[in-house]
Homo-oligomer: A and B are copies of this chain.
Amino acid sequence: MAGWRNVKNNHDHYDATIRGGALRDTPQRRHVYDLLLGNRDHPTATEVFMRAKKAMPSISLATVYNSLEALVACGLVKQVHIDREPTRFCPNLEEHGHFVCEKCGRVFDIEISQGPATRWKLPKGFTVTHHEISLRGTCADCTKNS
């Protein structure tokens, strides 16, 4: 996948960042982070929980929420919001948008072609700190099979 540092570097980044945020490196957090890196399909907290239990049966949903919150707080993971659906989590730190296929429900990362400055006509005096772009439609696979 384009724009991705490799897994080893992601783990180094984890070590540095988790401590920079004054957070402990706990097994639960690392497990949650590894799951996100290992399957970059934008899971919800509940989906992360179900996957996490396979290798760590005692983990609780609350801990998954706490771990995800910690990872988001120190910038290792981003939240993805699509309408008011459950929040999804994405370890891709490059600037990008998201595309949801209305047929299969999969979420894809989408490259954004230009910088924020030229993209919108903001009134004078407005400053942007974050943006979120979400598209809906039909993915290539579902277009082909319909």
Contact = CB atoms under 8 A, between A and B. Distances in A.
Interface stretch (A52-60, A69-77, A137-145): A137-145
A84 interface: yes
A131 B133 contact: yes
Question: What size tier do the contact residues of chain A reach?
Answer: 35 or more
Given A136-B129, A136-B131, A112 B120 contact: yes
Interface of A: 79, 81, 83-84, 87, 97, 99, 102, 108, 110-114, 118-141, 143-144
Q: How many copies does the complex hold?
A: 2
B122 A99 contact: yes
A79 to B, nearest CB: 8
Which 3 residue pairs are nearest across A and B when measured between Cβ atoms?
Answer: A125-B140, A128-B137, A111-B121
